[in-house]
Chains A and B, each alone.
Chain A
Amino acid sequence: GIQVEQSPPDLILQEGANSTLRCNFSDSVNNLQWFHQNPWGQLINLFYIPSGTKQNGRLSATTVATERYSLLYISSSQTTDSGVYFCASSKGSARQLTFGSGTQLTVLP
């Protein structure tokens, strides 16, 4: 199956700072998604982005499928951005997503 690696594993920021989270995958994929797990454990889907760039407020994501990576950008970070960010992908007709181990983000006030 696909291997999904995320970096960095941990990130501590001051409120207002920008950050970039990276997701590398081992094979060509046709499905790439980003999720945020808040400190209460709730998992929220941020982006479905198999290729190209999307933006949603202060968050944006870019996937370069041919080079097997995706980036999640967080601008002007807020304390509510804290939590774990996961990427997940699948290839071909596979219905199941493989998750990376996540990036733990802490935004300090």
Chain B
Amino acid sequence: NAGVTQTPKFQVLKTGQSMTLQCAQDMNHNSMYWYRQDPGMGLRLIYYSASEGTTDKGEVPNGYNVSRLNKREFSLRLESAAPSQTSVYFCASRRTGEKLFFGSGTQLSVL
């Protein structure tokens, strides 16, 4: 049982480049989330998906897009990376009314 799996673990981009962060969970959870963590800022929600086929903006959605490909997978795309998007990104999932489980994170640097 792998839980929540994120790829890649590390990534360096140049300003303007695009990339997709992948996330998959094998716990049959209906809700999936993308958070970013910056020093001293805690975790801030970028986007979430309450169920397959639905996505909603969180606190800091600008500059990002998401796709809930199926019940297992939820990807986060940066179309044109900016230095302000340098951060650690976490994917998470849960069943409604239950614990939230996190992936191991992706450390992204935008130069």
Question: Do A99 and B43 form a contact, CB below 8 Å, given A43-B90, A45-B101?
Answer: yes
Residues of B within 8 A of A48 (CB): 98-99
Q: Bound state CA distance, A101 and B100, in angstroms? A: 17
Which of chain B's residues have a CB closer than 8 A to the CB of A42?
A: 102, 104-105
> Total interface residues on B, using CB and 8 Å?
25
Chain B minimum-CB-distance residue to A95: B50
Contacts of A102 in B (CB 8 A): 42
Q: Is the CB of A95 within 8 A of B96?
A: yes
Asked if A41 contacts B98 (CB within 8 A), the reply is no
Give the shortest distance, in Å, between B91 (CB) and chain A (any CB). Answer: 11
Which residues of A are found within 8 Å of B97, using beta-carbon distances? 31
Contact B88 A97 (CB under 8 A): no
Pair B42/A97 contact, Cβ less than 8 Å: no
* Interface residue tally for chain A (C-beta within 8 Å): 20
Which residues of A50-109 are within 8 A (CB) of B?
A: 86, 88, 95-102
Chain B residue at smallest Cβ distance from A49: B99
Interface residue B2 (Cβ < 8 Å from any Cβ of A): no
Query: Can you sample 30 A-B contacts with CB below 8 Å?
Result: A1-B59, A35-B100, A35-B102, A41-B88, A42-B102, A42-B105, A43-B90, A43-B102, A43-B105, A44-B102, A45-B100, A45-B102, A48-B98, A48-B99, A86-B43, A95-B31, A95-B48, A95-B50, A95-B96, A96-B48, A96-B56, A96-B58, A97-B33, A97-B45, A97-B100, A99-B35, A99-B42, A101-B40, A101-B42, A102-B42
